[in-house]
Amino acid sequence: DARVTQTPRHKVTEMGQEVTMRCQPILGHNTVFWYRQTMMQGLELLAYFRNRAPLDDSGMPKDRFSAEMPDATLATLKIQPSEPRDSAVYFCASAEGAKTYEQYFGPGTRLTVT
Protein backbone atom coordinates (compact mmCIF):
# COMPACT_ATOMS: atom_id res chain seq x y z
CA ASP A 1 0.00 0.00 0.00
CA ALA A 2 1.99 2.99 -1.29
CA ARG A 3 1.68 6.12 0.78
CA VAL A 4 3.41 9.40 1.53
CA THR A 5 5.31 9.40 4.80
CA GLN A 6 6.24 12.40 6.91
CA THR A 7 8.49 12.83 9.91
CA PRO A 8 8.21 13.89 12.61
CA ARG A 9 4.46 13.59 13.20
CA HIS A 10 4.61 16.09 16.04
CA LYS A 11 7.16 18.76 16.88
CA VAL A 12 7.18 21.21 19.76
CA THR A 13 9.95 23.77 19.72
CA GLU A 14 10.82 27.14 21.10
CA MET A 15 10.75 30.33 19.15
CA GLY A 16 14.01 30.90 17.27
CA GLN A 17 14.88 27.23 16.85
CA GLU A 18 15.36 25.54 13.49
CA VAL A 19 12.72 23.05 12.41
CA THR A 20 13.19 20.46 9.68
CA MET A 21 10.30 18.41 8.33
CA ARG A 22 10.84 15.47 6.01
CA CYS A 23 8.68 13.78 3.42
CA GLN A 24 9.03 10.63 1.39
CA PRO A 25 6.75 10.81 -1.67
CA ILE A 26 5.18 7.75 -3.24
CA LEU A 27 7.72 5.93 -5.39
CA GLY A 28 7.33 7.01 -8.99
CA HIS A 29 5.51 10.25 -8.24
CA ASN A 30 7.42 13.13 -9.80
CA THR A 31 5.56 16.09 -8.30
CA VAL A 32 5.78 16.99 -4.63
CA PHE A 33 3.82 19.67 -2.80
CA TRP A 34 4.15 21.29 0.63
CA TYR A 35 1.03 22.70 2.27
CA ARG A 36 0.31 24.39 5.58
CA GLN A 37 -3.07 24.04 7.26
CA THR A 38 -4.45 26.32 9.97
CA MET A 39 -7.95 27.00 11.17
CA MET A 40 -7.74 30.60 10.03
CA GLN A 41 -6.14 30.18 6.60
CA GLY A 42 -7.17 26.68 5.65
CA LEU A 43 -4.92 24.78 3.25
CA GLU A 44 -2.19 26.96 1.78
CA LEU A 45 0.27 25.82 -0.86
CA LEU A 46 3.80 26.69 0.17
CA ALA A 47 5.89 25.15 -2.60
CA TYR A 48 6.02 22.40 -5.15
CA PHE A 49 8.60 20.48 -7.11
CA ARG A 50 8.53 18.58 -10.35
CA ASN A 51 11.29 16.09 -11.05
CA ARG A 52 13.06 17.54 -7.98
CA ALA A 53 13.17 21.05 -9.45
CA PRO A 54 11.34 23.81 -7.57
CA LEU A 55 8.56 25.18 -9.77
CA ASP A 56 6.80 27.55 -7.43
CA ASP A 57 7.51 28.67 -3.90
CA SER A 58 5.56 31.90 -4.01
CA GLY A 59 3.42 30.83 -1.07
CA MET A 60 6.40 30.46 1.22
CA PRO A 61 7.87 33.20 3.46
CA LYS A 62 11.26 33.50 1.84
CA ASP A 63 13.15 34.92 4.75
CA ARG A 64 12.70 31.92 7.03
CA PHE A 65 11.37 29.00 5.00
CA SER A 66 13.25 26.84 2.56
CA ALA A 67 12.27 23.70 0.67
CA GLU A 68 14.51 21.23 -1.10
CA MET A 69 14.50 17.80 -2.71
CA PRO A 70 17.97 16.30 -2.16
CA ASP A 71 16.83 13.23 -4.09
CA ALA A 72 13.67 11.73 -5.55
CA THR A 73 12.78 9.98 -2.30
CA LEU A 74 13.17 12.91 0.08
CA ALA A 75 11.68 16.39 0.32
CA THR A 76 12.51 18.72 3.18
CA LEU A 77 10.93 21.88 4.55
CA LYS A 78 12.99 23.98 6.93
CA ILE A 79 12.03 26.92 9.08
CA GLN A 80 14.82 29.01 10.56
CA PRO A 81 14.19 30.77 12.85
CA SER A 82 10.77 29.47 13.84
CA GLU A 83 8.08 31.79 15.20
CA PRO A 84 4.83 31.11 17.08
CA ARG A 85 2.82 32.07 14.00
CA ASP A 86 4.38 29.10 12.19
CA SER A 87 2.37 26.75 14.39
CA ALA A 88 0.27 24.67 12.02
CA VAL A 89 -0.01 21.25 10.43
CA TYR A 90 2.33 20.87 7.49
CA PHE A 91 1.38 18.40 4.78
CA CYS A 92 3.41 16.92 2.02
CA ALA A 93 1.62 15.52 -1.02
CA SER A 94 2.80 13.80 -4.16
CA ALA A 95 1.29 13.27 -7.59
CA GLU A 96 2.09 11.28 -10.68
CA GLY A 97 2.61 12.49 -14.21
CA ALA A 98 0.02 14.85 -15.65
CA LYS A 99 -2.69 14.21 -13.05
CA THR A 100 -1.24 16.64 -10.56
CA TYR A 101 -4.72 17.47 -9.26
CA GLU A 102 -4.94 13.92 -7.87
CA GLN A 103 -2.65 14.41 -4.93
CA TYR A 104 -1.78 11.90 -2.25
CA PHE A 105 -1.23 13.53 1.12
CA GLY A 106 0.92 12.40 3.98
CA PRO A 107 -0.32 12.34 7.59
CA GLY A 108 1.18 15.75 8.31
CA THR A 109 3.57 17.21 10.85
CA ARG A 110 1.89 19.13 13.65
CA LEU A 111 4.24 21.95 14.59
CA THR A 112 3.89 23.96 17.77
CA VAL A 113 6.24 26.88 18.33
CA THR A 114 6.17 28.32 21.84
Partner 1 sequence: GESVGLHLPTLSVQEGDNSIINCAYSNSASDYFIWYKQESGKGPQFIIDIRSNMDKRQGQRVTVLLNKTVKHLSLQIAATQPGDSAVYFCASTGRLYNKLIFGAGTRLAVHP
CA–CA distances in Å: residue 29 to residues 22, 47, 49, 84: 16, 16, 11, 33
Contact segment (CB under 8 A) with partner 1 among 11-19, 39-47, 64-72, 79-87 equals: 39-47
Max Cα–Cα distance, the chain, nearest Å: 40
Of the pair 46, 113, the CB lying nearest partner 1 is at 46
Q: Which stretch binds partner 1 (CB under 8 A): 11-19, 40-48, 67-75, 80-88?
A: 40-48
Report how many residues bind partner 1 under the rule CB under 8 A: 20
Going by the DSSP 8-state scheme, the letter that residue 81 receives in this structure is S
Classify the C-alpha dihedral 5-9-14-15 as positive or negative: positive
What is the binding site for partner 1 (CB under 8 A)? 4, 31, 42-43, 45, 48, 50, 55-56, 91, 93, 100-108
